[in-house]
Structure 1
């Protein structure tokens, strides 16, 4: 497995981003909101933020690239990271992206893919050498995961990893999340936003009009659905509405706040997904460089 120091160094070199920025998702803004779970979520999971009472969340919307100076108009995958702040003072994080599937279970292949994707001339050659990754990448292109998005409020975001939810009796259910927007093209603002930070400006204007809401849906694993692989395609999975995230206001910069998908609380278990297990190692290397 690729050493985290090597992975971070290669990614930072590929993007040429400034020091003291995140290695990936370097450009983003923080927002305050709440999450309220549904009764169906409370039946599946005993974690404190699933009891139906509103809990505070910190949301960070971001561009996926590693250079914060790149303007928002450039096509890119977007990210939505959410930190759920539980009543007992603990927190748990989910990190979503606009791409619905992840292309590999190998961190080294992910680094190589990211490097190759920055050169449109050579990227097809990379896919020829890694045919297993073509399906998820094509799925992302088909779903317009990496486009010049109009707003952070309109696309769906996919936390790619599965988690084990434990109910009050200790029974485990493997789930994946989807953050589905309630915003549509029909309710867009009348003004246009064309500057290098247009997504942030659009969100500021949108929040001045009112809250931004996302529904949190669960895909519930069934037969043949592998919770220990980010590549596993859960076709036909049962879907459950687990709650709603309501974002109300922008926050001042919260750096070096870290969103870690392995930060879980009682009632939620990690899978053995190798990408999931690798991420905190890479984040630890990255945060050391940022601070």
Structure 2
């Protein structure tokens, strides 16, 4: 497996982003709100934030690239990271993206794909050499995962990893999340936003009008569904509405003083278990290396 230092070196060189910024998802803003789980979710998972009581959340919407100077008009994958702050002082994170599927289980291949995607001349050859990635890339194109989005509030976001939900008796159910927007193109603001920071400007105006809500759905793994692979497709999986995430305000930048806020998909609490997904297991070491360069 690729060394995290090498992975971060290659990604930072590819984007040529400013020093002390995130290696990926460099451009983003922080927001606050609450998450409230449904009774059906609470029956399947004993985790505190799924009890049904409103749980504070910190949300960071971002663009996927590693250069924060790239304007929002540039097509990109968008990210939605969510930190759930439980009543006992613990927290757990979900990191999601607008592309519904991940192309590989191999960290080194993900780094190489990211590098190739920044050079239109090399991308066709890369895909010819890695044809098994094509279905996930096609799924992303169909879902408009990479686009010049007009709002962070309108796309669906997909945390790509499966997690084990444990109920009060310890029975495990493997789930995958989807954040589905309530907002549609029909209820956009009358004003058009065109500047380099149009996504954050649009969100500020949207929140001035009222909260932004996402339905949190989960797929429930059944026979033949692999929770330990980011590329696996759960055909025919049963779906359940797990709760509602309501964003109400933009927050002051918690990183303004130089201390990074870390969203880590392996940060879990009692009632939630990690899969053996190799991409998931690699991410904390890569994040640690990236964070070390930011501080």
TM-score normalised per structure 2: 0.98
- Structure 2 residue 210 is the aligned partner of structure 1 residue 210: yes
2:27 corresponds to which residue?
27
- Structure 2 residue 279 is the aligned partner of structure 1 residue 275: yes
**Distance in 1 (alpha carbons) for counterparts of 2:89 and 2:205:** 32
Q: 1:257 aligns with which of 257, 261, 275?
A: 261
Partner deviation per Cα, 1:81-107 (whole Å, 9 max, x = no partner): 000000000000000000000000000
2:157 corresponds to which residue?
157
1:56 corresponds to which residue?
56
1:7 corresponds to which residue?
7
**Distance in 1 (alpha carbons) for counterparts of 2:234 and 2:251:** 35
SS at 2:93 equivalent: strand
Partner deviation per Cα, 1:197-223 (whole Å, 9 max, x = no partner): 000000000000000000000000011
- The ranges of structure 1 where at least 4 consecutive aligned residues each deviate by more than 2 angstroms after the TM superposition are none
Partner deviation per Cα, 1:235-287 (whole Å, 9 max, x = no partner): 11100000010000000112210000000000000000000000000000000
**Distance in 2 (alpha carbons) for counterparts of 1:239 and 1:27:** 32
Aligned-pair distance for 1:121?
2.0
Q: 2:288 aligns with which of 281, 284, 287?
A: 284
Partner deviation per Cα, 1:22-80 (whole Å, 9 max, x = no partner): 00000000000000000000000000111100010000000000000000000000000
Mapping for residues 1-291 of structure 1, pairs under 5 Å = 1-255=1-255, 256-291=260-295
**Distance in 2 (alpha carbons) for counterparts of 1:21 and 1:224:** 41
Aligned-pair distance for 1:124?
1.1
- Say what the alpha-carbon RMSD is for the aligned residues: 0.5
**Distance in 1 (alpha carbons) for counterparts of 2:26 and 2:56:** 24
TM-score normalised per structure 1: 0.99
Aligned-pair distance for 1:10?
0.3
**Distance in 2 (alpha carbons) for counterparts of 1:96 and 1:34:** 17
How many aligned positions are there? 291
**Distance in 2 (alpha carbons) for counterparts of 1:43 and 1:142:** 34
Gaps of 5+ in 2: none
SS at 1:158 equivalent: coil
**Distance in 1 (alpha carbons) for counterparts of 2:254 and 2:136:** 33
Gaps of 5+ in 1: none
SS at 1:32 equivalent: strand
**Distance in 1 (alpha carbons) for counterparts of 2:276 and 2:138:** 26
Aligned-pair distance for 1:123?
0.4
SS at 1:83 equivalent: strand
SS at 2:34 equivalent: strand
Mean CA deviation greater in 113-122 or 275-284:
113-122
Aligned-pair distance for 1:142?
1.3
Partner deviation per Cα, 1:169-200 (whole Å, 9 max, x = no partner): 10000000000000001100000101100000
